[in-house]
Structure 1
Amino acid sequence: MNRENILTGSLWEDKMGYCRAVRIGNYIEVSGTVAIVDGEKIKANDAYAQTLNILERVEKVLEDLNVNIKDVIRTRIFTTDITTFEAVALAHSSYFKDIKPATGFYEISKLIAPEYLVEIEFTAVVTEMH
């Protein structure tokens, strides 16, 4: 099977040796994704807005691969504050309420920068052509 690496042009892709997503056949793995915290719409203390921003951006990555958000079978959610569970769950549900991927929710000590409250990884499997 062919491997397709999806790059965003981030300087970290070469520095760290990673890409936004990898597709092999019908399987797609999306790297851990954090929000674009702008201080206005997406604030450093708003786990709900950060989660929605992540979901919006990953949905676009998947669409660029001709994959639907409905093809997501697993999400892994990392947070620096487990008390954000309700806010993160509400945002996650706005995309996945009817899809219901397998999900894990983990509190960790830090993410790459202090303004990030949430990071999410995604696994998708395409079962039918869109």
Structure 2
Amino acid sequence: MSDDTGRQNIAGSSPWEALVGYSRAVRVGQVVHVAGTTATLGGEVVGVGDPGQQTRVVLDIIAAALAEAGARLEDVVRTRIYVTDMAHWPEIGRAHGEVFRHIRPAASLVQVAALIDPRHLVEIEAEAMIL
């Protein structure tokens, strides 16, 4: 949904969006901010126990949100990757690299104590600039 200020909110399918009061992504002007995204489809956690698969699912969800906002993965300038166990970084990094190897956004990888569901191993935020 777009309003008269040029702000476009993109809804996702996360069961937490309405409860918490956030959008999957928000576009203002040429900038798109994608909220922290987990491997949750239809309210179910996907890829339980597989950090690489969860990362690929997350990046697919992010790509869909970007597309709805009129952006592409190639427009991503920053990602923030939150992991519950730094030992999973190779699988998560490999999956991130499959998508961003040639795009090369600025990125952070940070271990956190927990995510919203204990079965989530990774959560990713993205920012894109449409040029």
Task: State whether TM-score is above 0.5.
Answer: yes
CA distance in 2, matches of 1:98, 1:68: 13
Q: Which residue of 2 aligns with 1:126?
A: 130
The equivalences for 1:50-129 within 5 A come to: 50-127=54-131
CA distance in 1, matches of 2:49, 2:13: 27
* Structure 1: runs of 5+ lacking an equivalent: none
Count of aligned pairs = 125
Counterpart residue identity of residue 122, structure 1: A
3-state DSSP class of the match of 1:115? Answer: coil
Q: CA RMSD in A?
A: 1.7
Counterpart residue identity of residue 23, structure 1: R
Counterpart residue identity of residue 27, structure 1: V
User: Following TM superposition, by how much is the alpha carbon of 1:10 offset from its aligned partner in structure 2, in angstroms?
Assistant: 4.5
CA distance in 1, matches of 2:12, 2:62: 12
**Worse overlay, 58-67 or 11-20:** 11-20
User: Following TM superposition, by how much is the alpha carbon of 1:79 offset from its aligned partner in structure 2, in angstroms?
Assistant: 0.5
User: Following TM superposition, by how much is the alpha carbon of 1:35 offset from its aligned partner in structure 2, in angstroms?
Assistant: 0.4
Write out per-residue CA displacement over residues 7-39 of structure 1, whole angstroms, 9 at most, x where no aligned residue.
135553232111111100000000000003767
> TM-score scaled by structure 1?
0.89
* Structure 2: runs of 5+ lacking an equivalent: none
CA distance in 1, matches of 2:13, 2:107: 29
- 2:65 maps to 1:33: no
- 2:48 maps to 1:44: yes
CA distance in 2, matches of 1:94, 1:113: 25
Counterpart residue identity of residue 85, structure 2: D
Structure 1 runs of 4+ off > 6 angstroms?
none
